[in-house]
Amino acid sequence: MDRIFHIVDRGTWALAQSAGEYRPESLQSEGFVHFSFADQVEPTANLLFADAVNVFVVEFDPQLLPAPVVVEDTADRGEQFPHVYAPIPTSAAVAVHDLPRGADGRYHFTAPNRAG
């Protein structure tokens, strides 16, 4: 499976790194951690984080996660997203990416190139 991505507030991620584990509110309320595939990051950021000012994208290697990645449509919108039903060890993060805004005020994300 390709890498998966999670949009998070920088301060929240810093606290998780100190603890060694990331437990977003969704893990308690929904039972899983929301992730995106690379092509889903930009639309998700613009839909759910439009008013956020301090977010970035953490890239994860699914093979480093403690539970399998489940790809499903939990919102019944016809789009499948990766979810993990467990706390996320911060050691599974393999990169962080800025999430810049364009002149239009919208987030723009270019997936890292893994070819070669």
* Total of domains in the chain: 1
In a domain, 74, yes or no: yes
Only one residue has tokens 């437990």, namely: 23
Instruction: Give the torsion sign (CA, 50, 33, 98, 38).
Output: negative
Provide the CATH number for the domain around residue 84. 3.20.170.20
Does residue 108 fall inside a structural domain? no
Single out the residue of 88, 56, 83 nearest to residue 71, CA to CA.
Answer: 83
Task: Determine, yes or no, domain membership for 116.
Answer: no
The encoded tokens of residue 32 equal: 């899983």
Q: Cα–Cα distance between 18 and 22 in angstroms, integer?
A: 10
Burial class (CB in 10 A: 0-12, 13-18, 19+), 105: exposed
Q: Does residue 26 lie in a domain region?
A: yes
Q: Is 44 exposed, middle or buried (0-12, 13-18, 19+ CB in 10 A)?
A: buried
Token pair 């990766």 is at which residue?
82
pLDDT (0 to 100) of residue 116? 44
Which residues of the chain fall short of a pLDDT of 50? 116
pLDDT at position 1: 74
Residue 34 inside a domain? The answer is yes
- Give dist(CA 97, CA 41) in Å, integer: 11
Is 18 inside a domain boundary?
Answer: yes
Q: Supply the range of the domain harboring residue 38.
A: 4-97
Instruction: Specify if 31 maps to a domain.
Output: yes
Handedness of CA 17, 19, 24, 27 (dihedral sign): positive
Residue 74 has a pLDDT of 78
Three-state DSSP at 62 gives: helix
Residue 88 lies in a domain: yes
